[in-house]
A and B are shown apart, each in its own frame.
Chain A
Amino acid sequence: MHYLWDEMTLTFSRTSMFPFFDIAHYLVSVMALKRRPGAAAVAWNNPLSSWLSAMLHCFGGGILSCMLLAEPPLKFLTNHTNILLASSIWYIVFFCPRDLVSQGYSYLPIQLLAAGMKEVTRTWKIVSGVTHANSYYRNGWIVMIAVGWARGAGGVIVTSCEELLKGDWKPEGNEWLKLSFPAKVTLLGSIIFTLQHTNHLAMSKHDLMFLYTMFLVTIKITMMITKDTTVTLAPFEDTLSRMLFGWQQQFSLGERKREAKQSSNGTASSGSKRITEDAGSGKRHAKKED
């Protein structure tokens, strides 16, 4: 039994990403690009720009990790087959007669299949990022986590920068500061794989890859079926953030209660007022004193 399991995970971890999983990844990325308002019009008017955006969507994580490690950001262009594959997918998605591909993609099982396969490529990317960073920095576990994260989920950052440069989007609200679900999961995975790589986790790599991929795929598919974006991690995160970052609020809540009890005295309120005043004057001095 144990032997079988080992065999299975080992073969799984040796699966080549090249034709099918990569196709799924490119398909999902390019469809995400196409869903943006105005993307189809851009493709008709200015195919080159649209192609460039598509490439950034497909290879963004790799570009970001190359930039972090001071490798040429255009390194992805040397991989001709992948570029050709991604370009042909971009072509059929945008210019297929009668929009056949988009219509086919709107069928839910196909979407689920493609999304599941895309999540598989994510695991592979994280692992390759972590090992790649490890070849530069033996003991730099923060670097390993960051590069794994960038390779797995950095595409979002690259594409938002692209939009920012094009002027389509302005970071007025804080939406983009909020980590998206894939970013969080990728961070988690990156930490886990780094721990495994530095031998802090008593588990073989292929087992871990299998388990993590299963976890990713199931979460993604349940999220897509239930159309719910706040599955699974939310309660865990809530507790964690209350534990780590909630100190002040709890204390200030307690203070407020005490204050309400001894409303006549008001020392606590004056203290807190002084703090806020301090903060206010600090803001006034906030000019870059650095």
Chain B
Amino acid sequence: MDLLSALSLGELALSFSRVPLFPVFDLSYFIVSIIYLKYEPGSVELARRHPVASWLCAMLHCFGSYILADLLLGEPIIDYFSNSSSILLASAVWYLIFFCPLDLFYTCVCFLPVKLIFVAMKEVVRVRKIAVGIHHAHHHYHHGWFVMIATGWVKGSGVALLSNLEQLLRGVWKPETNEILHMSFPTKASLYGAILFTLQQTRWLPVSKASLIFIFTMFMVSCKVFLTATHSHSSPFDVLEGYICPVLFGAAWGGDHHHDNHGAPHGSGLGTQHSGLPAKAREELSEGSRKKKTKKAD
């Protein structure tokens, strides 16, 4: 019985990792990416005034990961654009989202349950892209661990790492808003995923690729759907980071903003307060950065 269930789970994972992505999953990836483009302040105006710039932006949102990965591996950065059907599909989605009469398409797609389905499907594509990216990098550099991690990360996080270029295309130039300075949940998760998949590829992790894809997809889908449903920007890694970072990077990591307030307790060595402080400080810090971002968005 036990064996049977294990077998069926393995088979399930295997068949899951072989589901073709092209029409349906890719479509939802494009839809969600372009919805995020539309959320950016000023993008609707941009689309009306400069359709070409807006289209380029949309293409970056959809294919930024391929472009960046190709750039890193020294392949033609325009390589993915030879895939005419994907480009046409993404262009159609861009057109419908920005120019559909009465904003019909956009309102339908933004309806929360529908959006959650699309978000979940997008995560499936993301995990698959990480796996493919690592496989690809492994093909070029057999022992290049860091190359594999970097390629997988870039493939997973997509346009986020290109955000400065993307802003430049929209006529915004803010070098201080860099994704690497304020990593969002998908970027971090892609990084961790890339590390996991690299470990698997170099056989340090005793699981099959299909089951790793399956497990990581489930993790990403549940996290992302939960985050989208609750409109929250916190990430599940916050708790973990709150514990690990002070150990690795010293006590000043989380508490430097409150140093002047809490100087005395630090000195007197109250252990419980010390361990509780960084998480709280982090929370406040992220609150502050969020507020800053909202201000910018307005």
Contact = CB atoms under 8 A, between A and B. Distances in A.
A176 B36 contact: no
B76 A174 contact: no
Interface residues of A, number: 43
Interface in B19-71: 33, 36, 38-41, 44, 46-53, 70
Contacts of B79: 70
A166 interface: no
A139 interface: yes
Nearest to B228: A289
A14 interface: no
Nearest to B290: A287
A51 B135 CA distance: 44
Interface string B68-80: 0010001111110
B41 A174 contact: no
Interface in A231-272: 241, 244-245, 247-249, 251, 255
Contact of A284 (B95, B187, B297): B297
B261 interface: no
A275 B107 contact: yes
Contacts, number: 128
The contact size tier of chain B is 35 or more
Contacts of A179: 50, 52
A171 B168 contact: yes
A285 B81 CA distance: 31
A130 to B, nearest CB: 13
Given A139-B84, A143-B82, A146-B81, A70 B75 contact: yes
Given A176-B171, A177-B171, A245-B51, A287 B184 contact: yes
B171 A70 contact: no
A286 B297 contact: yes
B184 A288 contact: yes
A70 B74 contact: yes
A143 B83 CA distance: 9
A91 B171 CA distance: 35
Given A275-B107, A287-B233, A245 B47 contact: yes
B102 to A, nearest CB: 5
Does more than half of chain A's interface fall in helix, strand or loop, or is it mixed?
helix
A244 B33 contact: no
Nearest to A278: B110
A108 B199 CA distance: 68
A283 interface: yes
B82 A290 contact: no
Contacts of B103: 248, 275
B123 to A, nearest CB: 11
A147 interface: yes
A281 B160 CA distance: 21
Nearest to B56: A177
Interface string A146-181: 110000000000000000100000111110111100
Contacts of A176: 171
Given A172-B173, A283-B39, A285-B39, A290 B158 contact: yes
Contacts of B46: 174, 177
A282 B38 contact: yes
A247 B100 contact: yes
Contacts of A68: 76-78
Which of A173, A174, A177, A245 is most buried by chain B, counting CB atoms within 10 A of its CB? A177
A48 interface: no
Given A244-B51, A284-B297, 16 more contacts: A70-B75, A70-B79, A143-B78, A174-B50, A177-B46, A177-B53, A177-B170, A251-B101, A279-B44, A282-B38, A287-B184, A289-B36, A289-B184, A290-B33, A290-B157, A290-B159
* A-B pairs, 7 with minimum CB distance: A140-B82, A70-B76, A286-B39, A177-B53, A174-B171, A137-B82, A177-B50
24 contacts: A68-B76, A70-B79, A143-B82, A147-B78, A164-B168, A171-B171, A173-B171, A174-B171, A177-B46, A245-B98, A245-B99, A275-B103, A275-B107, A282-B38, A282-B110, A286-B41, A287-B233, A288-B179, A289-B36, A289-B227, A289-B233, A290-B158, A290-B159, A290-B184
Interface of A: 67-70, 136-137, 139-143, 146-147, 164, 170-174, 176-179, 241, 244-245, 247-249, 251, 255, 275, 278-279, 282-290
